[in-house]
Amino acid sequence: MSINTARLKKNNKGVDKISLPLLLGIMSAGVFSSHVHANDLTYLEELGKRLFFEDISLNQNMSCATCHAGSAGGTNGDSVTNNTDVAVTGSDGVGVGNLRPPTNQYVQFRTDAGDIVGLGNFALCTVPFLGDVACGGAFWNGRAEGNLIEAFHNIDPFAGVGSEYEGMYRKYIGPLSDQAHASPFINPVEQALETKQDACRQVRDDTVWGEQLYEYAWGTEMKCGKRQIDKTFARFAIALSAWQMSKDNNRFDSKRDIALINDADGQFPLDDFTEQENRGHDIFYNVGPVSGNCVFCHQSDPVNAGGVGPFERYTNDQFFNIGVPRNHDIPNNPAPDIGVELIAPNLGLPFGTNLGKHKVPTLRNVDKRPHSGFVKAYTHNGWFKSLEQLVHFYNTARVKPTCAEHIKTAEQAMLNGCWPEPEFSVNRPPPFVVGGLGLSPQDEADLVAYLKTLSDGSSVQGPGRYRLHIINESRLDHGDDGSSSGPLGGLEDRANDAFGGF
């Protein structure tokens, strides 16, 4: 195993390599801390988290968290942008995308039993009444298919490291790692670095944590040269995937989650819900006389029907065109995004049959915001600015008249009792699913009240100051029972025995 606990990598600040005895002396004086709790992040997860929050970008002014803020439920944390441009301006101050940032939470997550739950690879799914449809894959159009690092780019991220690492980390390869590998770091309208090597060098040279965490996580030195960069960059992507699957990023502490745990029988109506919230749940799940049909698309756990599954994500990971109007406020007024039509032919689906279809998003944290005055944007192009607008659209999109051309925004449409023409008028679901639900204003308000119970009570926080430390092998992997384990065979214990512990 190539990890050497007696060597401390130097960082960009000019800290020289420090021998283990000297380091132990420094640590005893309190300059460094190696204290690690058993439930802390693994080294791979911490590497991913720091990659996520670090301003790895052209002007070192933009991170992944710029577009995916924990306080906003993993979506854009800038209220002004949400209410206007929607698409976030890149590191260079000029480039800008044409879609709203999707959430990075509850995409995939790892259970205490070690299972990876959530979004699957891009594939054909057979759905009753619909037949074979596209499902899975990350991004609004599913193009982060889940097998691109190895199958398409022909990169083996486990080459050159011990087989133990593949055993620990293969589970993190999938849509999330493909999305990270795509990559925002080198996207000209996002973090805007020119090459993978530029990103690697910023991590290596401009952070205290980069070299050490990479070596502790992967058992080998970080290398940014042309011969090694593809593997290094793929390992960055796997680390980002691991953290985004962690409990730190998927908290399951919403009012709904807590109420289910505390409920006498663990079934709806919940004791800790208001009457309105319970009514909203019943409309969502078609329980009783009023049906919202939300469950047709926003359910990931059909086994626990009725919304009581502990890991319910509120999405079926399929693609639909609900008829969202064009957002003319996006900078440069780009043509509407065609959605999964871009790659659906790869699955053998006929051209044109997926035009305008976008990923069904999770409803977890759909209303999470840092304060009550914060504006969130909804749907792939961010045209809607409130849950109330969006629910009213689902209810009436195929019933109300078409707006005059000068009516461009959701606010104007609500005031005028109309809806603008959709981006794409084809491939839309029938009105009983979207657009003609027949709900009353009270029913709409009840649905919104229920959706607001899905927001986590706590928020992801950025990492604190990094402290150089000696490797703790228990932080290499979490076992399938949720406990910590590592492949080093007592390497840390042997070091402690040799030098008297720390």
Helix axes of 43-53 and 210-218: crossing angle, nearest 10 degrees: 150
Cβ pair 43, 463 in contact under 8 A: no
Cα–chain center distance at 49: 12
Phi and psi based region of residue 60 (left: phi greater than 0; alpha: psi -120 to 50; beta: remaining): left
- Rg (Cα) of the chain, in Å, rounded? 24
What pairs with residue 135 in β-bridges? 123, 318
Terminal Cα distance for the chain, rounded:
22
Q: Given the structure tokens 């593997």, which residue do they identify?
A: 231
Four-residue CA torsion sign, 106, 111, 114, 118 = negative
Cα 272 from Cα 395, distance rounded (Å)? 28
- Is the Cα torsion angle 228, 231, 232, 233 positive or negative in sign? positive
* Cα 446 to Cα 461: distance, rounded to the nearest angstrom: 31
State the alpha helices, DSSP H only, in 306-363: none
Quote the CA–CA distance of 489 and 495 in Å, as a whole number. 12
CA 137 to centroid of chain Cα atoms: 12
Lookup: tokens for 324: 């969202």
CA atoms within 13 A on the CB side of 323: 22
**Phi, psi dihedral angles at 176 (to 5 degrees):** -65, -40
Cα 138 to Cα 422: distance, rounded to the nearest angstrom: 24
Map out the domains of the chain with their CATH numbers.
Answer: 7-124+140-249+460-486 (1.10.760.10)
Q: Which residues pair with 8 in a beta bridge?
A: 18
Burial 410-442 (b: 16+ CB within 10 A, else e): beebbeeeebbebbbeebbbeeebbbebebeee
Angle in degrees, 0-180, between the axes of helices 210-218 and 196-205, rounded to the nearest 10: 110
Query: What ranges in 338-423 are assigned the alpha helix state H?
Result: 387-396, 410-416
Please give the pLDDT value at position 480: 55
pLDDT of residue 112: 85
Per-10-residue mean pLDDT, the chain, length 502: 39 36 33 38 97 98 98 98 97 96 98 91 92 96 98 97 96 98 97 98 98 98 98 99 97 98 97 99 97 97 88 97 98 96 94 97 99 98 99 99 98 99 97 98 99 98 94 84 43 32 27
pLDDT at 128: 85
Helices (H), 263-409: 275-284, 387-396
The angle that helices 441-451 and 387-396 make with each other, rounded to 10 degrees, is: 130
Distance CA 304, CA 288 (A): 18
Tell how strand 116-118 and strand 123-127 pair up: unpaired
